[in-house]
Structure 1
Amino acid sequence: MLAEFDLFGVFISPIAIYSVAAIPVTLLIRFLLWRTGAIEWFWHVALFEVALYVCVLCLMVLYV
């Protein structure tokens, strides 16, 4: 787990860094799902993408 991040004298919470870092990972997974056509399995694509982001964020907090 990260400690507080110092950005020019301003301390930033680790969850802010994790949330920014989870965006490219989510976009990569989303791109792979679109290319393979697996995204069509889901009933509500936007809801799935939000849930995917939350899952990636939770996994990053737990394991990074």
Structure 2
Amino acid sequence: MTGEIDIDGVFLSSVLISAMIALIVSFVLRRLLTWLGAYRLVWHPALFDTALFVILWAAVVTVPSPLKF
């Protein structure tokens, strides 16, 4: 992903869009992990959440986009 995305004349950075997608997926995954009780096994939840977001962001950037902007 490089460049900007044009949404009705407003240019948004592709980095911002990929970070927002990763953040939304991270929120959903955190809720699922909380519901499953997986945080009982995590030593430092804030550090785990940050690492989860970084991994998801890297995955979003790595996966090729089917849309051409």
TM-score normalised by structure 1 residue count = 0.83
SS at match of 2:43: coil
Residue 9 (structure 2) pairs with residue 6 (structure 1): no
| Percent of matched pairs sharing the same residue | 38
- Structure 2 gaps, min length 5: none
- Structure 1 gaps, min length 5: none
Computed over aligned residues only, the root mean square deviation of the Cα atoms, in angstroms, reads 1.7
How far apart, CA to CA, are the structure 1 residues paired with 2:25 and 2:52? 10
Residue 35 (structure 2) pairs with residue 39 (structure 1): no
Aligned residues: 64
Residue 54 (structure 2) pairs with residue 54 (structure 1): yes
Q: Which aligned segments of 4 or more residues in structure 1 are displaced greater than 3 angstroms?
A: 7-11
CA shift for structure 1 position 12: 2.8
**Residues 14-60 of structure 1: per-residue CA shift (max 9 Å, x gap):** 11110011111001110010000011111000000011001100000
In terms of fraction of residues, the more helix-rich structure is 1
